[in-house]
Amino acid sequence: MKAIIRQATPQDAEEIQAIYEPVVQDSVISFEIDPPSAQEIRKRMAAIQQRFPWLVCEIDGKVAGYVYASPHHERAAYRWSSNVSVYIHQDYHRRGIGRALYTSLFALLKLQGFYNLYAGVTLPNEGSVGLHESMGFEPVGTYRNVGHKFGAWHDVGWWALTLRPHDAQPAAPFPAPSLQGSMEWQAAIDEGRAHLAPAGL
């Protein structure tokens, strides 16, 4: 099998949508109610990629999973912090793809100059909690009964990861497009590939 991690393109939107649709329709992992269309996914990708990475893991030409970062909040003082999300196709669970994608994403975000990463997890979700804690995230709190879906209220736990020591006068993070194509950018993406080997990819 040939596996690569790369920047997502608009042509990936249909496969990304196919991964995300059952997450919306069949689970409380996402609090969306109606699955977005491929066209809507393209719009979201374009907006995110103005500032943040959006990556896919491609196996033998098929998108097996994707990961992206987004603003933690929009107010200026939050600009060194980012939320992160990862989704894996149901046929590729437990093969190290989530860890591989996160490794690449976190290396890129550190290169950009981010300090803090946050992940929200609808509870219970042992798999997601296990992945995030294995990546170094620590629990910081729980929003009790914050979302209502499928006739029930759901808690969301929050986990945090510090990418670097906190400088007293931090420089503003670089937007992703300003670094894409550089050797450093590609090297950061390649950091995740080592985690694909143990999965037999």
| pLDDT above 50 (res 199) | no
List, as one string, the DSSP characters of the chain. --EEEEE--GGGHHHHHHHHHHHHHH-SSS--SSPPPHHHHHHHHHHHTTTS-EEEEEETTEEEEEEEEEES-SSGGGTTEEEEEEEE-GGGTTSSHHHHHHHHHHHHHHHHT--EEEEEEESS-HHHHHHHHHTT-EEEEEEEEEEEETTEEEEEEEEEEE-S---SSPPPPPPGGGTTTSHHHHHHHHGGGGGTGGGT-
Q: Is the pTM of this model over 0.75?
A: yes
Which pLDDT band, with edges at 50, 70 and 90, does 144 fall under?
Answer: very high
Looking at residue 197, what is its pLDDT? Answer: 60
Q: Residue 96 sits in a domain of what CATH number?
A: 3.40.630.30
Looking at residue 94, what is its pLDDT? Answer: 84
User: What is the arithmetic mean of pLDDT over 151-167?
Assistant: 98
| pLDDT above 60 (res 156) | yes
Q: Sign of the CA dihedral 108, 131, 20, 198?
A: positive
What are 15-54's pLDDT values in tens digits? 999 999 999 999 999 999 999 999 999 999 999 999 999 9
Looking at residue 1, what is its pLDDT? Answer: 74
For 79, the domain range is 3-199
Which pLDDT band, with edges at 50, 70 and 90, does 193 fall under?
Answer: confident
Looking at residue 133, what is its pLDDT? Answer: 98
Looking at residue 118, what is its pLDDT? Answer: 98
Which pLDDT band, with edges at 50, 70 and 90, does 2 fall under?
Answer: confident
- Give the total number of structural domains in the chain: 1
Pairwise CA distance, residues 27 & 63, whole Å: 21
Average pLDDT, the chain: 95
What are 66-109's pLDDT values in tens digits? 999 999 999 999 999 999 999 999 999 888 999 999 999 999 99
Which tokens is 166 given?
């906190």
